[in-house]
Each structure stands twice: as C-alpha cells, then as structure tokens.
Amino acid sequence: MVATFKYKELPGKKGSNHKCPAIEVIFQGKSKFAQKIVALIDSGADLSVIPLDLAKFLNVDLSMNESISHGIGGKVKSKRSKIKVSVNGDRRKYTFEIPIEVILEGNPPVILGRQGFFDKFEITLIEAEQKIKLKKYSKRKY
C-alpha cells in the first residue's frame, strides 16, 4: 500500500514560506507525551535531527556523550539518541524506532534522514506535483 502526502509549506530564511518535501509525523520519547510535528524528508541527511527543546519535552535519553555533527549549516554540538516515530498513511499507521541526532544549539528543523527512516520505505518525490509517496519496503524474492 502506498501513502501519498502533499508537500508542506514551511518558513524560509527570509520570512517567506515555501513548499517542500515534508510530512506530518508523531514522535514519542520516554515520556507519556507524544508530539505531532512536520518533518523534512532529506535524502542528504545520514540521520534524523531534532532540536534540544523537543528532545527535552519528549524526555529523550540524552545520556550519550556530546559530539560534533556536520551538515550543510556547518558544525554543531549534538548527542545521539533514538526516538519512536509514527507515520499515518492513507489507511495504515507505521510505528518504529529511529536513531536521531539531538542538536544542542540553535533551532534546527526536524529532519527525517536515511538511517532508520529511508530504509523502511520506498520513497518517491514527485516535484512537479509536489507530492511524496511512501511505500512500506519489503524485500522481494525473485
């Protein structure tokens, strides 16, 4: 089954909004709270990323050693952890745990990266229609 999502409008750097490949997901850490959030789908990101404030709200385990993450914005302090993510498709709900980088500085966008997310789906971006298609990945036997 394929779940189809429309691009979401997100704020740009100069205050203007633009549509980009993003979907609404639900994150849950160790707390009883879950948070619905719009996350960018980024094939250039090795790992998924969340800001520190969100990690604290969801009581994400931050006991790991601090490290430095490198991205398009340069170097930032981070901690690696994991979080439960749920994606509500057209008629199905997919829930699984993914590794994340919690960014300790600034207010980065929430990003769904390749490790732990992309490997769960066949992902198709249709830029001309501003749509995202997610199909649950299953290894085919030929």
pTM equals 0.88
**Whole-number percent of the chain with pLDDT over 70:** 96
Mean residue pLDDT of the chain comes to 89
Average of per-residue pLDDT across 109-134: 94
The confidence band for 11, taking pLDDT boundaries of 50, 70 and 90, is confident
**Does pLDDT of 142 surpass 60?**
no
Q: What pLDDT, in 10s, does the model give residues 28-84?
A: 999 888 999 999 999 999 999 999 999 999 999 999 888 888 776 778 899 999 999
* Per-residue model confidence (pLDDT) at position 106: 85
Measured between alpha carbons, how far is residue 73 from residues 40, 41, 61, 76, 134 in Å? 15, 17, 25, 8, 27
Q: Return the pLDDT at 31.
A: 84
What does the alpha-carbon distance between residue 141 and residue 134 come to, in Å, rounded to a whole number? Answer: 20
How many residues are listed for the chain in this entry?
142
pLDDT at residue 90 greater than cutoff 80: no
Cross-strand partners of 123: 134
Provide CB contacts within 8 A for 3, sequence distance 6+: 87, 88, 89, 90, 92, 133, 134, 135
